[in-house]
């Protein structure tokens, strides 16, 4: 068992910190912190992320990706601003899913631009009436000659409104048991017409969370991902990587709140001494630090299992649910340490809290994660 970063991992982390400071923070600072970033700004940021290898970390280098261990990816990933972490994850899983389900010709068409960061990707699976239960999907594609016609509505698409490449999960038929079969099709806004709009949300506001409506949307049938890959299975595999990554975003947000709380407790005086000297303030600080540490350890472990090729369904679910729950509480405690200042925009903690509040939803809610872990423990699925 080894808890310290290797020299190489330390270099990866240091380089990521420098990238954020030098190449990303100035772009973000030029735009309002509570509005989705314009496409031109995203176009400056994505090639920077590509240079760090995180536009396609989960696909081996000899197959067209940048081939990183999930743990190394995480060390870069957790340095990013929270909304950008969610954005690059939406892009990177789209790359991995297209890679897994595409023919060699399709890979050559869609993936190089996504690897270089010139094109941004997103996956549209959730629908207004199908979130936790993907079996409820209703978006359908039918094929007429060389054209696929897509009809349906997708919601909560990370990167949706700025994506050049959208992998849209559709029903394309039924299996022998009468269940819907799923296939993904790549829809490029440059070539196909559909409506897309931004959804205003509590946090992660410089990012993009979009709704798309497809009404007889015509797409070349050559864009149906048809290598025989199983779209439903691929969703599960990629979710098992995403969950600990989302947990790490929560841990990083809590860490920023912790640093602010420690500083404030050292300078704010009440009852004749710095509040850091009051026992209950120390308890709050100790609780916050414990939340960050336990979250990181669980998330790193879930990712390490994945790197070793081991099953990590329960570990990934546990890591995300634990991290997003305790880190949200931790940020709230950091706000409490600040008293009235904690709830001001000026202190910046409320934004950390709003961003963290978003994280319990994507890649499975707390309840669904609990059921996934319960199924792994008991061997019994409690979903239906
Ligand atoms: C920041 C963010 C990014 C996202 N990115 C994407 C994306 O890129 N692509 C995409 O397709 N989707 C994305 N989503 C959507 C996300 O995956 C869904 O919101 C999520 O799966 C929950 O679905 P829902 O919102 O429809 O809630 P529902 O499934 O309707 O759930 C409502 C409530 O019921 C609970 N519930 C449901 N079933 C059960 C059960 N069996 N037992 C107990 N409780 C239950 C849920 O936990 C929840 O509390 C994103 C969401 C967010 C917030």
Asked if CATH classification 2.40.110.10 holds for the domain at 122-227, the reply, yes or no, is: yes
Nearest-10 crossing angle of helices 39-51, 104-116? 100
Phi, psi of 24 (to 5 degrees): -105, -50
Asked if CATH classification 1.20.140.10 holds for the domain at 232-378, the reply, yes or no, is: yes
DSSP state of 161: G
User: What is the end-to-end Cα distance of the chain in Å, rounded?
Assistant: 39
Q: 330 in helix, strand or coil?
A: helix
367 lines ligand 1 (CB under 6 A): yes
**Rounded distance between C-alpha atoms, residue 47 and residue 114, angstroms:** 9
382 lines ligand 1 (CB under 6 A): no
For a pocket test of ligand 1, which of 84, 126, 128 has the largest count of ligand atoms closer than 8 A to its C-beta? 126
210: CA distance to ligand 1 center in Å?
14
Cβ proximity of 231 and 96 under 8 Å: no
Ligand 1, atom nearest to 90 Cα = 8
Query: What per-residue confidence (pLDDT) applies to 231?
Result: 67
DSSP string, 99-143: HHHS-HHHHHHHHHHHHHTSS-EEEE--BTTBSS-GGG---EEEE
Residue with tokens 């209950």: 280
Query: What per-residue confidence (pLDDT) applies to 36?
Result: 97
365 lines ligand 1 (CB under 6 A): yes
How large is the C-alpha radius of gyration of the chain?
Answer: 21
Q: Which of 258, 279, 277, 257 is nearest to 267 (CA)?
A: 277
Architecture of domain 7-119: Orthogonal Bundle (1.10)
How far does Cα 347 stand from its chain's mean position?
26
**Rounded distance between C-alpha atoms, residue 112 and residue 115, angstroms:** 5
125 lines ligand 1 (CB under 6 A): yes
Query: What per-residue confidence (pLDDT) applies to 2?
Result: 83
**Rounded distance between C-alpha atoms, residue 344 and residue 352, angstroms:** 12
Residue with tokens 């995403």: 242
Average pLDDT by consecutive 10-residue portion of the chain (384 residues)?
Answer: 91 97 98 96 98 96 94 97 98 95 95 98 97 93 97 98 97 89 94 97 98 98 83 83 98 98 98 98 98 98 96 98 98 98 97 98 97 98 90
107: CA distance to ligand 1 center in Å?
29
Which residues lie below 8 Å from residue 62, measured CB to CB, with a gap of 6+? none
260: CA distance to ligand 1 center in Å?
32
76 lines ligand 1 (CB under 6 A): no
Query: What per-residue confidence (pLDDT) applies to 229?
Result: 64
Residue located nearest, by CA, to atom 18 of ligand 1: 131
185 lines ligand 1 (CB under 6 A): no
**Rounded distance between C-alpha atoms, residue 348 and residue 29, angstroms:** 15
For the record, the structure tokens of 172 come out as 């394309």
Query: What per-residue confidence (pLDDT) applies to 178?
Result: 86
- Domain limits, the chain: 7-119, 122-227, 232-378
């Amino acid at each position: 068992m080894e808890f310290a970063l290797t020299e190489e991992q330390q270099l990866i982390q240091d380089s990521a910190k420098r990238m954020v400071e030098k190449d990303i923070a100035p772009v973000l600072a030029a735009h309002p912190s509570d509005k989705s970033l314009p496409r031109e700004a995203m176009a400056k940021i994505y090639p920077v992320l590509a240079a760090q290898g995180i536009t396609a970390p989960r696909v081996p280098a000899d197959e067209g990706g940048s081939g990183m261990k999930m743990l190394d990816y995480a060390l870069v990933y957790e340095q990013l601003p929270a909304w950008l972490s969610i954005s690059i994850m939406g892009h990177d899983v789209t790359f991995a899913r297209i890679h897994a389900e595409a023919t060699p010709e399709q890979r050559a068409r869609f993936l190089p631009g996504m690897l270089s960061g010139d094109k941004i990707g997103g996956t549209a699976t959730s629908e207004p009436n199908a979130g936790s239960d993907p079996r409820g999907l209703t978006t359908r594609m039918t094929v007429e000659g060389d054209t696929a016609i897509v009809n349906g509505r997708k919601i909560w698409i990370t990167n949706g409104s700025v994506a050049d490449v959208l992998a849209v999960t559709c029903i394309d038929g039924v299996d022998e048991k009468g269940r819907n079969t799923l296939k993904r099709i790549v829809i490029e806004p440059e070539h196909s017409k559909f409506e897309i709009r931004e959804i205003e949300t509590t946090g992660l506001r410089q990012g993009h969370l979009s709704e798309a409506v497809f009404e007889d949307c015509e797409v070349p049938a050559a864009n149906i991902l048809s290598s025989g890959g199983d779209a439903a299975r691929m969703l599960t595999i990629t979710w098992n990587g995403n969950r600990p990554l989302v947990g790490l975003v929560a841990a990083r947000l809590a860490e920023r709140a912790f640093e602010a709380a420690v500083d404030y407790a050292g300078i704010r005086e009440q009852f004749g001494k710095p509040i850091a000297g009051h026992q209950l303030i120390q308890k709050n600080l100790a609780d916050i630090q414990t939340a960050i540490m336990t979250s990181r350890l669980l998330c790193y472990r879930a990712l390490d299992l994945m790197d070793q090729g081991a099953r990590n369904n329960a570990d990934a679910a546990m890591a995300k649910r634990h991290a997003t729950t305790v880190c949200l509480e931790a940020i709230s405690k950091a706000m409490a340490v600040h008293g009235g200042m904690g709830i001001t925009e000026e202190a910046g903690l409320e934004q950390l809290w709003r961003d963290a509040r978003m994280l319990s939803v994507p890649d499975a809610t707390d309840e669904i994660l609990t059921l996934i872990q319960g199924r792994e423990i008991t061997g019994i699925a409690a979903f239906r």
